[in-house]
Amino acid sequence: MNPSPNQPAIGIVYIVGAGPGDKKLITLKGVECLQRADVVIYDLLLNNVLLEHCPPHTEKIQAPDPRIRATRQDELNRLLVEHAKAGKVVVRLKGGDPYIFGRGGEEAVALTEAGIPFEVVPGITSAIAASAYAGIPVTHRDYASSVAFVTGHSAALRPDSNINWAQLATAVDTLVVYMGVAHLPQIVERLIAYGRDSQTPVSLVRVGTTPQQHVVQGTLDTIVQQVEAAQLKSPAVIVVGAVNQLREQLRWFDTKPLFGKRILVTRARAQASEFADLLEANGAEVIQFPTIEIHPLEIDSAYIRTISEYDWVIFTSVNAVEIFYERLRENGRDVRAFGRSKICAVGPKTVEALNRIGIQPDFVPTHARGSAIAADIENVSGKRILLPRAKIATADLPDGLRERGAVVDDVPLYDTVKVASGSDKGQDEIEADLLNGRMDLVTFTSSSTVTNFLEMFPAHTPDVLLADVQVAVIGPTTQQTAIDHGVRVDIVAKKASIENLVETILAFTL
């Protein structure tokens, strides 16, 4: 039966496994579902970065906390049905895999009973992912040919539980227990009582696959005391079996050079992803705290119409390339408009941005400083030069070119403005982390990020605010701005590139 004109078509629910914590462990299909979502109902402990895959119109609803809402599952089921019946594409975003201790089956049953179409998108469950990131293969030809997943929740330990601990204790080589930290003594007691050797190796992996991952190892005989000594709390998985012996040989994640280091990135969010990815690839926990936004400015269309009359067009940033090219397109033109003009690109990223629109620059200076560029470029006496760039850019480049006899049109193409929100964490939380030594490094990639950052914390002088944190900057100009504001600079990239900044950070002992 077709719905009446006043009744919306029934939507669909995607029950999606988001993986265990690392934002990149979600599947491609899971991302596709998020990109189509009208509504996302997401679990409490998920990496919120995943929600950035959603389109702007998506309604984001955090699922009720199961620790304080006994009726949580009924509420969730009702929400799924309600939004689907309104014709929405609904994503139920769950940690790990929906069908492994994720109550995805209960939600699927509720949808079926309500006549709502659904699909299940499997996710990587924490038993597999956390173990792998800890360097523990749950199976290995020489150590384990069988593995079992079991819940360690209190209900699993009751006499009427359907978990047969007596047989499970010795039935498999590797046993992975979910949600068992609070009941570790009882679990250990049962395994030993039912025949598991007390010298069996055991590992607990807390918040596996994240930069906060913490691994405690021992044996069934010692693990309770070791976990208590380490004050390890949930969420964590318990891995029981001989495969734990492989960790020292196979660990790879928590040996990365920046593992466990908390690094604050103050770059504009639209530009920060590459920087954050490089830091995270080396094990860091990156907190994005953008202090600037890029705002394109309107320019006189005469610059577009007469661009081919310039002898040189100098691009000093990726932003300049992308925004100027957009202005060309808005005026119905493309790269052919440059005509005979020569192109100068400052920095490898600017070269790449030009290459993407089909331009190979005629000149790439070896240094990024304005005075050095002006000195390195060919004889420009009497030449007309267009310099589309940031509104707040320093005057050393156009002044240097004019000193050599060039006629320079210095055109403000975009502005960098201070932002008051949009960080991964609240400003108060960032402030507390800095003052209490819970941040290892603050990075600045331009002079404006320095000034705007300090303006956000007027209650503290830089020497107090940054007393217990290292500071890294990109290039001498940003370094000088930081010093002028009373900031102690510990790390300076010799080249004005994100790659070199990361290399310099890696060479420094945090």
For 224-239, what is each residue's pLDDT tens digit? 999 999 999 999 999 9
For 146-199, what is each residue's pLDDT tens digit? 999 999 987 778 887 888 999 999 999 999 999 999 999 999 999 999 999 999
User: Above 50 in pLDDT, residue 85?
Assistant: yes
* Degrees, nearest 5: CA angle 494-495-500: 90
Please give the average per-residue pLDDT across 380-408, as a whole number.
Answer: 93
d(CA 293, CA 274): 16
pLDDT-derived band at 86, boundaries 50, 70, 90: very high
Could you tell me which CATH number the domain at 296-414 has? 3.40.50.10090
> By percentage, how much of the chain surpasses pLDDT 90?
78
Q: Decide: 413 and 389 in contact? Cβ < 8 Å.
A: yes
Q: What is residue 160's predicted lDDT score, i.e. its pLDDT?
A: 78
Q: How far apart are the first and last CA of the chain?
A: 66
Alpha carbon of residue 396 to chain centroid: 36
Could you tell me which CATH number the domain at 12-124 has? 3.40.1010.10
H or E element, residue 435: helix 427-435
Could you tell me which CATH number the domain at 128-250 has? 3.30.950.10
d(CA 116, CA 130): 34
Q: What is residue 1's predicted lDDT score, i.e. its pLDDT?
A: 41
User: Above 80 in pLDDT, residue 317?
Assistant: yes
Listed in order, the ranges of the chain carrying CATH 3.30.950.10 are 128-250
User: Above 90 in pLDDT, residue 66?
Assistant: no
How far is residue 32 from each of residues 38, 56, 115, 206, measured CA to CA in Å? 12, 15, 24, 29
Alpha carbon of residue 395 to chain centroid: 35
Q: Decide: 414 and 297 in contact? Cβ < 8 Å.
A: yes
Q: What is residue 292's predicted lDDT score, i.e. its pLDDT?
A: 82
For 342-377, what is each residue's pLDDT tens digit? 999 998 889 999 999 999 999 999 887 788 899 989
126-135, 251-260, 362-371: least confident range:
362-371
Tokens of 120: 């299940």
User: Above 50 in pLDDT, residue 413?
Assistant: yes
Beta bridge partners of 448: none
Listed in order, the ranges of the chain carrying CATH 3.40.50.10090 are 262-291+419-507, 296-414
Non-local CB neighbours of 374 within 8 Å, separated by 6+ positions: 396, 397, 399, 400, 401, 403, 404
More confident residue, 382 or 349: 382
Listed in order, the ranges of the chain carrying CATH 3.40.1010.10 are 12-124
Q: What is residue 421's predicted lDDT score, i.e. its pLDDT?
A: 53
Q: What is residue 197's predicted lDDT score, i.e. its pLDDT?
A: 97
* φ, ψ (nearest 5 deg) of residue 96: 65, -135
> By percentage, how much of the chain surpasses pLDDT 70?
96
Domain 262-291+419-507 has CATH 3.30.420.40: no
| Average pLDDT, rounded, for the chain | 92
Tokens of 438: 């819970």
User: Above 90 in pLDDT, residue 9?
Assistant: no
In single-letter form, the type of residue at position 163 comes to I
